Structure 1
Amino acid sequence: MSTMHAIRVHTYGDVDQLQLEQIPQPEPQEGEVLVRVHAAGVNPLDWKIRSGWMKSIMPVAFPYVPGNEFAGVVERVGPNVSTLRPGQAVFGQSPGGTYAEYCTAPVRTLAPKPTALSFDEAATVPIGATTAWQGLFVAGELQAGQRVLILGASGGVGTFAVQFAHSKGAYVIATTSARNVAFVRSLGADTLIDYIQTRIEDEVHDVDLVFDAVGGEASTCAFSTLKRGGKLITIAGQPDEAQAQARSVSASFFAGHPSADLLGTFACLIDAGQLRTSIAATFPLSEAHKAHELSQSGHGRGRIILRVTEHQDK
């Protein structure tokens, strides 16, 4: 049986639970491919699951391999797969864990990698772009001319949300730290709020949609920025339903759903120079604990990446 190096978690806990181990390679089933992972994205959800924060709504079976988004090269295909071929560079999502040298993934969650991006860069896209697009336009029903407040605009989801909302013709108000103001403005934000120096509820009013990638106190304060009948869509925890009702607005938690068609759309936008990506930091697979520590700090611009192999050709 072929083996591979992978990060596994055997019980809920801190970053010490991220163990580099040698385990069997997975086998692609019907409708799946086996991919040699070149780079894996590190999401806040990864450490929230590892720490046990999400066990009531997203329990896991131990041991498990963390991670969901990646970029790599198809190693071999499973039965009834005709849309992808061995040797093809792809990016997308895998339900079986991506902090590993190999992973399997359904073809419906993959697309050919954008030619303009390296594997590291491509691994920043699947979850962030999908969540931003679906959160804004499906759950949030954002329309041209509306006002949207994006909390956490410089993060792995927020950077895409700003670009998509701007391209739609919405007026974009974005929160970020002072050091990222110029960067977020370059993505298309119309008004920038330094969340460290300014209370958003004092400066922002009558928005149609709040897209929340931060959660906690920021999410609570954002309710007062909404106009009557507005929406708060959060990807960072359960919203306060009582406060939503009191203010005559709606509030809901949202998680993106993998889509090969959407990934193909993003690839076209990227290759046309109409969508940008950003890497906050890159770590080798053996330093997954450092990647989680950085993610837990809540600081950085763009997505944290685990480089699984040094082959980084476009």
Structure 2
Amino acid sequence: MQAVTLAEFGPPDVLRLTDVPDPRPGPGQVRVRIRAAGAQPVDTSVRRGEAPPAMRGSLPIVPGNEFAGVVDLVGDGVAEVAVGDEVLGWTMLGAYAEAVAVPADQIVRKPADMPWEVAGAMSASGQTAHRALRELRVAAGETVLVHAAAGGVGTAAVQIAVAWGAAVVGTASEANHAYLRSLGATPVTYGPGLVDRVRAVAPQGVDAALDAAGRGALDASVDLVADRDRIATIADFAGAERLGLRGLRGGPGARSRERLGELLDLWSRGALTVHIGHRLPLADAAEAHRVIEAGHGRGKVVLLP
């Protein structure tokens, strides 16, 4: 099969489309022929050699941590999944490929009416946002601030919080303000003066803040949220350590079938959409990384084998 491999750390051009052996599912695993795979900011960290410990591997590496496709092989001991099932799921590495072998408990059945590109981009950002909002204890009637609200995680976080009955203030560039309004958020422009702009649109105060941006967002959040235990980042871990705030990294419990099932339920009810900002062939993984690293993007980047 073909896969995007990383033989050395560096800029996007180190990503190469190469021929690699087809994976074989072990006991408790299935093999999925991939129809779509999401590209994430964490994948760019893998490429640069800066990935969190759970996502490090020996070179060469096949990046990619979310996918959707069709099961074509089932390992021993798997009874709940059959060849031909359409599924979506997650992995730590390996999704920038035509096929991936994963534990059967890391996939769920794809709704029949869900487009492949949406299914391929649902798991990572959606589960990251869901977990963060749960850990921040966001509840109905509260106000939550989401930094980088137009990105993949931000888009999911806005919609999940709104579905839970919270009011959302989202930071984004002016070009994405109408988009955030369509999701149910009140948009504000990031940058100098952010604290005053948030206070102007949320005079009732801010109960929790999720930083998916970095760039000083945590300092602004500290000025706006009284309880520091209700401020978290997925983008600025040095800032979180400096300020004594939550830094949310991936790891055991960060993703689960149950969490993904909740997201699919929201999607089925029309409460959660996945905006696909860029659709690229697998061979253009380097361009996908350039798009992600440029920032200011809207929604998700999807690779199509």
Please report the TM-score for the alignment, with normalisation by the length of structure 2.
Answer: 0.91
Whether the 8 Å contact between 2:145 and 2:208 is mirrored in structure 1 is yes
Q: Name the structure 1 match of 2:272.
A: 275
Structure 1 residues 242 and 68: alpha-carbon distance in aligned structure 2, compared to 1, 3 A threshold: closer
Q: Matched residues in 2 for 1:16 and 1:304: separation? A: 17
Q: Name the structure 1 match of 2:193.
A: 199
Q: Name the structure 2 match of 1:170.
A: 166
Aligned residue among 180, 196, 212 for 2:176: 180
Q: Matched residues in 2 for 1:142 and 1:265: separation? A: 16
The equivalences for 1:54-69 within 5 A come to: 54=51, 58-69=55-66
1:222-265 alpha-carbon deviations (Å, 9 max, x no partner):
221212455211111315356535xxxx4333437221122222
Aligned residue among 248, 251, 255 for 2:250: 255
The equivalences for 1:103-114 within 5 A come to: 103-114=100-111
Q: Matched residues in 1 for 2:160 and 2:97: separation? A: 31
1:110-155 alpha-carbon deviations (Å, 9 max, x no partner):
1111223211111111011111111101x21112222210001111
Structure 1 residues 242 and 85: alpha-carbon distance in aligned structure 2, compared to 1, 3 A threshold: closer
Q: Name the structure 1 match of 2:34.
A: 37
Which is further off, 6-15 or 106-115?
A: 106-115
The equivalences for 1:29-178 within 5 A come to: 29-54=26-51, 58-137=55-134, 139-178=135-174
Residue identity in the other structure for 2:158: V
Aligned residue among 22, 25, 49 for 1:25: 22
Whether the 8 Å contact between 2:67 and 2:120 is mirrored in structure 1 is yes
Count of matched residue positions in the alignment of Structure 1 and Structure 2: 298
Q: Matched residues in 2 for 1:120 and 1:277: separation? A: 9
Q: Matched residues in 2 for 1:71 and 1:301: separation? A: 21
1:63-120 alpha-carbon deviations (Å, 9 max, x no partner):
1100000110001111111111111110110234100001011121111112232111
Q: Matched residues in 1 for 2:101 and 2:53: separation? A: 26
Structure 1 residues 58 and 97: alpha-carbon distance in aligned structure 2, compared to 1, 3 A threshold: closer
Which is further off, 47-56 or 276-285?
A: 47-56
Residue identity in the other structure for 1:212: D
Bigger share in helix = 2
* Alpha-carbon distance, 1:55 to partner: 6.6
Q: Percent identity?
A: 36
Q: Matched residues in 2 for 1:209 and 1:265: separation? A: 22
Whether the 8 Å contact between 1:223 and 1:243 is mirrored in structure 2 is no
Residue identity in the other structure for 1:145: G
**2:168 aligned counterpart, secondary structure:** strand
Residue identity in the other structure for 1:265: E
* Alpha-carbon distance, 1:177 to partner: 1.4
Q: Name the structure 1 match of 2:202.
A: none
The equivalences for 1:214-293 within 5 A come to: 214-229=213-228, 231-241=230-240, 244=243, 250-255=245-250, 257-293=254-290
Q: Matched residues in 1 for 2:109 and 2:227: separation? A: 43
Whether the 8 Å contact between 2:52 and 2:249 is mirrored in structure 1 is no
5+ long unaligned stretches in structure 2: 200-204
Whether the 8 Å contact between 1:91 and 1:122 is mirrored in structure 2 is yes
Residue identity in the other structure for 1:203: R
* Alpha-carbon distance, 1:20 to partner: 0.8
